[in-house]
């Protein structure tokens, strides 16, 4: 069996880092993903809930903000629960195993909310699976890109 989700979209709100009672980092955010065009139809967008844990959550909260494009590699998780009115509900979300930058700093700055956090430039290491935040070094390429 295989459960794999690969998404590319834009973050709809600034991710916020939270911690469980046992001090495990977690963040939840929503990504807007465009559907392919259909003939004579408006473009439709799906809003997909994402959950990231531990160092991936810390990475997302440090480098991604509202409007930033993000690539997510993960798996779909389904949860069943009962709402306040006693109705049975089902929730679908993607657990992010790996996140990547999709665009460079200058492209994302136009769509992102102002932030003091610097974002890596194009050409810098752009993916994060697991590891330590100290493994990353920001590289300033300015506007001198090779393409």
Angle at 16 between CA 34 and CA 80, to 5 degrees: 70
Check pLDDT > 50 for residue 147.
Answer: no
- Give me the helices (H) in the chain, please: 54-63, 105-111
Check pLDDT > 50 for residue 103.
Answer: yes
Burial (CB count within 10 angstroms: exposed 0-12, middle 13-18, buried 19+), residue 29: buried
CA distance 133 to 110: 25
| Domain boundaries defined on the chain | 5-36+44-130
Question: What fold characterizes domain 5-36+44-130?
Answer: OB fold (Dihydrolipoamide Acetyltransferase, E2P) (2.40.50)
CA distance 104 to 45: 23
Summarised one tens digit per residue, pLDDT across range 21-44 is 999 999 999 999 998 877 778 889
CA distance 118 to 128: 16
CA distance 75 to 101: 19
Residue 58, classed as helix, strand or coil, is: helix
Summarised one tens digit per residue, pLDDT across range 45-97 is 999 999 999 999 999 999 999 999 999 999 999 999 999 999 999 999 999 99
pTM higher than 0.75 for the full model? no
Q: Per the structure block, which two tokens stand in for 135?
A: 């493994």
């Amino acid at each position: 069996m295989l459960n794999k989700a690969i998404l590319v979209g834009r973050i709809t709100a600034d991710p916020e880092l939270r911690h469980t009672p046992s001090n495990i980092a977690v963040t939840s955010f929503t990504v807007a993903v465009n559907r392919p065009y259909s003939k004579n139809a408006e473009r439709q967008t799906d809003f997909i809930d994402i959950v990231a844990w531990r160092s991936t959550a810390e990475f997302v909260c440090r480098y991604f903000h509202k409007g930033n494009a993000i690539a997510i590699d993960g798996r779909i998780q389904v949860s069943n629960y009962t709402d306040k009115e006693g109705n049975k509900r089902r929730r679908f979300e993607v657990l992010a195993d790996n996140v990547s930058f999709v665009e460079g700093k200058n492209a994302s700055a136009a769509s992102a909310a102002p932030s003091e956090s610097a974002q890596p430039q194009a050409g810098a290491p752009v993916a994060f699976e697991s590891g330590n935040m100290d493994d990353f070094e920001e590289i300033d390429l300015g506007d001198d890109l090779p393409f």
